A and B are shown apart, each in its own frame.
Chain A
């Protein structure tokens, strides 16, 4: 996973609460076999409407999504995080995230920053009045900066640490690779292996 300490990009206002994962990525796209290439699937239903925010310049080039409360509710599909990342989003700001979505984000290196709704409102005004305004998400300082607005955000210590270090779960486990190897060395000899293949 890429290390993230700070990210600056165009803020995209999404004035909606309860943006569920079915809206983020409709079920029809889950049949795909790849973990990448979901950018066209992101908000696929809403993007058919030409007035949707991602169909407007310069928001189509945005990388910080500023959403209403209860973002990412519904299904556990990790595809929702993949679609946001593939489109180019590095961070989502909301006053409340669904637990599973928040967990999936942490696994995939998308910053889910919990920002007070009053600050979200201020940022919405700023990026709507001055389209193209950049938002900076600083994981070290745990602050979001947009124009003259500086707001704190919450993220759990463990996830923040993993994001800053650029560690995914696999990366973390691989830090203990020697212990895995040591464990393997003392496994009983009678335990089966699939190779070489034996047949009945």
Chain B
């Protein structure tokens, strides 16, 4: 043993604190480590085969008390008191209910006050805490890294593995530091930071890495904003993204239902305070981004790396040196029905979607509501607002945000994944164009033939007013005659 402990990154500290058994061997031949899992989040789509696997092998679910389930991907956002019309969706939901009852898993069903998108529910209950390992059969599990947790998505076989053993065999990740220094201009948000990061390193840039977001611009962000950033780590190819816990994290957690209480709180904070990356710790890669010059960022193409500042124009295939990027641009322009050189702000949309595990929390809804209040919606635009959880919906209603959205002409829906992936009836029609606060602009993601532009909640709100992709700075002052809510 060395006399002193080598400097470690946040990710390495959390990893090392969860090694049940170190893999034999060294270098490339090193076998996987067995890593303990502190929290397993479950939803209806990727769990049925895992539960059935346990049943077939006659295995119990090892730690129901470290497992929690919710219904989100398939759930309707209208008429939630009626039976789910789509039979396949209904079956999948009913299966989750039966499985959770059989294996003793806590489930928040549609209609329950704690139901919602799995990545909104965990943090909101105070179940996601610094220094934990968190997994879920969903790639956006990276969201929970905002608390300084090591959180990542897993496949169905791994879901079953965690259910049976509360652990996973994993090879260590590499680490990448994403430094964002400076101060964001008004109207620029966490969503713009992460879209700019993805455009910079590419959709494969984070492959094999855990990203750690650092720097003054990150420290200044709220927890809701930090979750937005970590959420889209997977869109840069990284399974996990993390932010070191600090006073902002502790303020968010304190008093939440499952946050430590009394003396436990003090012990927890003492431990959480040791998690930040040590001075002099080495990252395998480093990226730098200037927050001062960042502008609202939007995507023009069909992968989240195909983005530009809102003030720019649609790029041309010739703008890309790399042959694959050029071909991808060409294909994307055709699918998106866009001409190179068109100013992004002249792109007219049909639908605005405010929601998803990326941007459906209170802060997102408040930011959008503040923009639309006292202003009029473009009459041609359909705007759908889907709170991330039933709890967010209730809180928003208590603040009167629902009234602002409804007065504006937006649809105020029940919680779920909704139009982010269109597994429920909330889908784009063929050829429809959407400004969406979600995370993936893949072909057909929001509905067959649908076209997605990823935007922040502020850009979504401004776009709903002007009808074309817009930022709040493009808006006139609110109409004087408009009634304040």
Complex CA distance for A180 and B124, rounded to whole angstroms? 29
- What's the nearest-Cβ distance from chain B to residue A50, in Å? 30
User: In which size bucket is the chain B interface?
Assistant: 35 or more
Known: A35-B53, A190-B267, A199-B257. A169 touches B36 (CB 8 A): no
Q: Is chain A's binding surface mostly helix, strand, loop or mixed?
A: loop
* CB-defined contacts of B129 to chain A, threshold 8 Å: 191-192
Check A169–B256 contact: CB distance below 8 A.
Answer: no
Q: Is B382 an interface residue (CB 8 A)?
A: no
Which of the candidate stretches B63-71, B216-224, B226-234, B429-437 sits at the interface with the other chain? B63-71
Q: Answer whether residue A33 sits at the interface, using C-beta atoms and an 8 A cutoff.
A: yes
In whole angstroms, how far apart are the Cα atoms of A107 and B158 in the complex? Answer: 10
Of all chain B residues, which has the CB nearest A79?
B49
A189 within 8 A of B: yes
Assess the A170–B57 pair: CB atoms within 8 A. yes
Interface centre among B20, B155, B169 (most CB of A within 10 A): B20
Contacts of A187 in B (CB 8 A): 36, 38
Known: A180-B167, A190-B268. A33 touches B49 (CB 8 A): yes
**What residues of B have a CB within 8 angstroms of the CB of A188 in the complex?**
267-268, 271
State whether A184 touches B36 (Cβ < 8 A).
Answer: yes
In the complex, how many residues of chain A place their beta carbon closer than 8 angstroms to a beta carbon of chain B?
33
**Docked pose: A187 CA to B155 CA in angstroms:** 26
Q: Is there a chain B Cβ closer than 8 Å to A48's Cβ?
A: no
Residues of A within 8 A of B192 (CB): none
Q: Is the CB of A107 within 8 A of B271?
A: no
Instruction: List residues of chain B with CB within 8 A of the CB of A172.
Output: 169
In the assembled complex, the CB of B206 is this many whole angstroms from the nearest CB of chain A, namely 19
Bound together, the chains give a CA A179 to CA B18 distance in angstroms of 12
Count A-B contacts at CB 8 Å. Answer: 111
CA distance A191 to B267 in the complex (A): 10
* A165-200 contacts to B (CB < 8 Å): 169-170, 172-174, 176-177, 179-180, 183-184, 187-195, 197-200
User: A187–B126 Cα gap in the complex (Å)?
Assistant: 18
Chain A residues lying within 8 Å of B225, measured Cβ to Cβ, are none
Cα–Cα, bound, A36→B52 (Å): 9
Q: Which of B125, B127, B155, B167 has the most CB of A within 10 A?
A: B167
Q: Write the nearest CB–CB distance from A26 to chain B, whole angstroms.
A: 15
CA distance A33 to B43 in the complex (A): 12
Indicate if the CB atoms of A170 and B165 lie closer than 8 Å: yes
A148 contacts the other chain (CB 8 A): no
Do B106 and A200 have beta carbons less than 8 Å apart? no
A33 (CB) vs chain B CBs: closest residue: B48
Cβ-defined contact, A180 with B59, below 8 A = no
A31, chain B: closest CB distance, angstroms: 5
> Using Cβ atoms and an 8 Å threshold, which residues of chain A touch B161?
169-170, 173
Determine the chain B residues whose CB is within 8 A of the CB of A31 once the complex forms: 88, 92
Are B125's CB and A200's CB within 8 A? yes
Is B391 interfacial (CB-CB < 8 Å)?
A: yes
A190 to B266: give the CA distance in the assembly, Å: 9
Against A, the Cβ 8 Å flags (1 = close, 0 = not) of B10-27 are: 000000000011000000
A34 contacts the other chain (CB 8 A): yes
Neighbouring B residues of A198 by C-beta, 8 Å = 125, 257-258
Q: Does residue B350 face the partner (Cβ distance < 8 Å to A)?
A: no
CB of B473 closer than 8 Å to a CB of A: no
Q: Is A35's CB under 8 angstroms from B49's CB?
A: yes
User: B132 touching A191 by the CB < 8 A rule?
Assistant: yes
- Judge whether A169 and B157 touch: CB under 8 Å: yes
A78 within 8 A of B: yes
A180 touches B20 (CB 8 A): yes
26 inter-chain pairs at a CB distance below 8 angstroms, sorted by A residue, are A33-B48, A33-B95, A35-B52, A78-B157, A170-B59, A170-B161, A170-B164, A173-B164, A173-B165, A174-B165, A176-B34, A179-B21, A180-B20, A187-B38, A188-B267, A188-B268, A189-B267, A192-B127, A192-B129, A192-B258, A193-B258, A194-B67, A194-B68, A200-B124, A200-B125, A200-B256
A78-B155, A107-B157, A173-B165 given; name 19 further pairs at CB < 8 Å.
A36-B56, A104-B157, A170-B164, A180-B34, A180-B166, A187-B36, A188-B267, A188-B271, A189-B264, A190-B264, A190-B265, A191-B132, A192-B129, A192-B258, A193-B65, A194-B64, A194-B67, A194-B106, A200-B391
